[in-house]
Amino acid sequence: SEMLLPGGKGINVSTVLMNLGIESTALGFTAGFTGDEIIRRLEEMGVRNGFIQVGEGFSRINLKLKSIDGTEINGQGPKIGTDKVDLLMKQLGELGQGDVLFLSGSIPSSMPDDAYQIMAMLDGRGVRIAVDATRDLLMKVLPYHPFLIKPNNHELGEIFGVELKDRQSVIPYGKKLQEMGAVNVLISMAGEGAVLIAENGDVYEEPAPKGKLINGVGAGDSMVAGFMAGYMEKQDYEYAFHMGIAAGSASAFSENLATREEIEAVYQQITGKDQEERKK
């Protein structure tokens, strides 16, 4: 069997937010026939389109082989000119107090590697920024105090040159990233669960919920979306943490990205609380 889905870390975040009833605009660049299809499918799903179309090349096709866990063949993607980057910066320049911006993934090879300096531009505007990026990019954004970063235990270990296997072992290194500028550090650990080092100094940890791994693609993006959705709803870190785990796990237990019902079922498993209790 095969599935063809609009993908990308930011798109995954927007999809899960939509499933949780939160409107968002998917931003970035599209090109060619694949870009047109991505936009068509997202609009069909109800995700708002903020994409900038570039004239050269086409949006990449990434192949994931489920039968060989973790195997993927990723395309190169289109070239993005400086004029298109300027258009993106103009879009982001409209953000202000109360807005949430998700910066996800790697920077295309045709763009300058300081693109995450977006954070410097938005500094002091009251925009909460969640960053899900790998080692070098992650370290570059810390001075701008991202509201949330989400390394996994392997990425965290690479940053500090250590091997981190259990939840207790990641805590001191997560605190180091907090000391370096991150407001909240959410560490995903696949089957080992997750850890949150919160802004107020509290540390939360939770083993992985019980369930069958069906499709791990997008689980980390779902966790980021679930955490921020939970925080926007209640401004409570424990609740946001549990919503993050529930969303990430629900996506991993599903063929596609998690629906609200699937997230609520895992949330209840984690906390013992049903939907009505959750709203209190």
Q: Which residues are catalytic?
A: 221
Q: Which of 242, 244, 201 is nearest to 220 (CA)?
A: 244
Q: Which of 81, 23, 73, 72 is nearest to 52 (CA)?
A: 81
Q: Which of 85, 78, 69 is nearest to 8 (CA)?
A: 78
Tell me, what amino acid is at 61?
I
Q: What are phi and psi of 130, to 5 degrees?
A: -105, 130
Complete DSSP assignment for 76-108: ------HHHHHHHHHHHTT--TT-EEEEESPPP
Kindly tell me the burial class for residue 261, based on how many C-beta atoms sit within 10 Å of its own C-beta (0-12, 13-18, 19 or more): exposed
SS3 280: coil
Residue 61 neighbours by CB under 8 Å, 6+ apart: 34, 75
Neighbour tally for 151: CB within 10 Å? 26
Cα–Cα distance, 173 to 195 (Å, whole number): 11
28-50 in b/e form (b: 16+ CB < 10 A) is: bbbbbebbeebbeebeeeebeee
Do the Cβ atoms of 187 and 198 come closer than 8 Å?
Answer: no
